[in-house]
Amino acid sequence: GDLRLLVVWNEGWNNSDVFPAGEGGFDAHYANPHAEISHSLRYELGGQPMHLRWGGELRVNLLDSTITTDETATVNVAGFASHEATLGVVKLTTGARADRQTFTDVVVSPRVSLVLAPGGGHQLRAAYNTGYNNPNQIQLFSDFETAPGARIIGHTDHAPERIVYGEVGYSGLLAQSLRLFVNTFTYRMKDTIALNSAEVLQTGLSFYENNSAVDAYGFEAGAELSISTAFKAYAHYAHVRLTAKDDYPYVANNLGSPQDKLSAGVQYDHSSGIFLTSDFQYVGETEVDRVPALPGSGSPFELTRLGSYAMLHARLGFVPVEGTEAAIAVMNALGDTTRHFPGGESPGP
């Protein structure tokens, strides 16, 4: 088998002059060192290929900022294992992961998937996955004012966010040059962590809390066309609908997520090493609960509509030798000015 060791140190700084307005901006320094060790073993059982992988992970999150207090290093220790068995035209994958963070209990996340490949370029698959999100540093240690008399406070008494996800999909080749795929899915997010803005009306304080479940369902479909060995094109559409109970604190339509997304593009690779790519993206309208620049009395959030927008990116380049390239890129060629993550500023142009 193969033994693999990965050690990474991520570090960065972030700041804003306008958010949060009640503090006159913020400065933050963060670091995220982590290490992973894993062992991979391939073998045969009854003449059928098998693949076993197992290992462990250690991750540390560090934060020092002007909008948090009493920051403590959060440590996550994890163990994981997965097994892949190929039985003729069927591939069965099973796995599980166990995590323990400084402020949470042990979380076990199993998963299983089944792929049927009868031949002719066709494939059917079904999957069941579970996952989690540990509370982040802002949810744990935040302490800042969005406006005079409206303060957001973090705490360490959170349960991890959990997700249960299921999907069924198909992909297939048609005429040896056109690949189609379609996928339907549903998932439930439990114990999602969000601010309870109603508390501001009573106490002037808002706390991050675990909340009732969010349910989602949707589908995606797409096509990939190989016109020649050098020229390819693709198109992809996705739709998702999210719902929650009336007591869920985030009231934006579809919980702030666009319902519709469309992407399409072309790629040209010449034998001389010259290449050209162009990618188009359309995101449907939505609305978000945001923190306005000048919050009024009551809730610190403001329901704001975000219109649909479209973006176009392109790259023209040359690959002189494998592993190297020189390229010119044009980003946002359509000049879209939508602010995707509005904070203290107003969204839009």
**pLDDT level of residue 344 (50, 70, 90 thresholds):** very low
Q: What are phi and psi of 159, to 5 degrees?
A: -90, 150
Residue 345 clears pLDDT 70, i.e. is over it: no
> 61 in the Ramachandran plot: left (φ > 0), alpha (ψ -120 to 50) or beta?
beta
Maximum average pLDDT range among 23-27, 248-252, 290-294: 23-27
Question: Residue 264 pLDDT > 50, yes or no?
Answer: yes
Cα three-residue angle 59-64-70, rounded to 5 degrees: 90
> Rounded distance, CA 119 to CA 130, Å?
30
Specify the pLDDT at position 152. Answer: 86
Residue 233: the pLDDT is 97
Q: Which two tokens stand for residue 242?
A: 């999210």
Is pLDDT of 250 > 80? no
What secondary structure letter does DSSP report for 142?
Answer: B
Query: Percentage of the chain with pLDDT > 90?
Result: 65
Average the pLDDT over 6-21 and give the result: 89
| DSSP 8-state assignment for residue 81 | E
Residue with tokens 């290490």: 35
For CA atoms 213, 247, 239, 265, the dihedral sign is negative
Q: What is the pLDDT of residue 322?
A: 85
Provide the CA 196 distance to its chain's centre, in angstroms: 23
Inter-residue contact 243 to 218 (CB < 8 Å): no
What pLDDT, on a 0 to 100 scale, did the predictor assign at position 197?
63
**Residues constituting the chain:** 349
Tell me the average pLDDT across 114-120.
92
- Distance between start and end Cα atoms, the chain: 55
pLDDT digits (tens, 9 = 90+) for 26-55: 999 999 999 999 999 999 998 899 999 999
Q: Which residues contact 45 (CB under 8 A, 6 or more apart)?
A: 85
If pLDDT is split at 50, 70 and 90, which confidence band does 198 have?
Answer: low
Model confidence band, residue 206 (pLDDT cutoffs 50, 70, 90):
confident
Predicted local distance difference test score (pLDDT) of residue 195: 77
Provide the sign of the torsion angle of the four alpha carbons 100, 101, 104, 108, taken in this order.
Answer: negative
Per residue, what are the HEC states of 147-170?
ECCEEEECCCCCCCEEEEEEEEEE
Least confident of 58-62, 102-106, 295-299, 321-325: 295-299
* Inter-residue contact 94 to 83 (CB < 8 Å): yes
Confidence of residue 204 (pLDDT cuts 50, 70, 90): low
Radius of gyration of the chain (CA): 24
Predicted pLDDT at 321? 87
pLDDT for res 349: 47
Report the pLDDT value the prediction gives residue 286, as an integer from 0 to 100.
87
Cis peptide before 20 (omega within 30 of 0): yes
Banded pLDDT at 165 (limits 50, 70, 90): very high
Instruction: Of 40-44, 158-162, 300-304, 340-344, give the lowest mean pLDDT range.
Output: 340-344
Q: Which residue has the tokens 């802002």?
A: 138
Is residue 231 pLDDT above 60, yes or no? yes
Separation CA 158–CA 176 (nearest Å): 52
CA proximity to 85, closest of 39, 41, 51, 40: 51
* Chain-centroid distance, C-alpha 129: 15
Rounded mean pLDDT of 141-164? Answer: 87
Question: What average pLDDT does the structure give for the chain?
Answer: 88
Whether the per-residue pLDDT at 266 is higher than 60: the answer is: yes
Q: Please answer whether residues 196 and 249 qualify as being in contact, where contact means their C-beta atoms are separated by less than 8 angstroms.
A: yes
